[in-house]
Amino acid sequence: MSPAEKLQLVSDATQAVIDLSLAGIRRRHPAASDRECFLRFACIVLGRDVARTVYPDVAHLTHPVP
């Protein structure tokens, strides 16, 4: 397998994890906007404190992110 093929495999796997994470967020919060889903994902990936620093509107989420 070439390095380019390995890179593509990793990229595809990463995108699958992102898609599954967003699907789980949407399932738990069906009325959430795309922005809210993004903010919740940012909290998962970055942690709440860093996400709040980078994206101040995290503080406006109706249901806190753990």
Q: Where are the domains of the chain?
A: 19-66
Angle 9-38-29 from CA coordinates, rounded to 5°: 110
**Contact predicate 55/39, CB 8 Å:** yes
| pTM exceeds 0.85, yes or no | no
Give the pLDDT confidence of 30-41 residue by residue, as tens digits: 999 999 999 999
**65: closest CA among 46, 50, 45, 43?**
43
- Mean of the pLDDT values across residues 10-23? 98
pLDDT score, position 49? 92
Q: Could you tell me the pLDDT band of residue 62, with boundaries at 50, 70 and 90?
A: confident
Rounded-to-integer distance, Cα 66 and Cα 63, Å = 9
Inter-axis angle of helices 34-46 and 3-28, to 10 degrees? 120
Give the pLDDT confidence of 35-60 residue by residue, as tens digits: 999 999 999 999 999 999 999 999 98
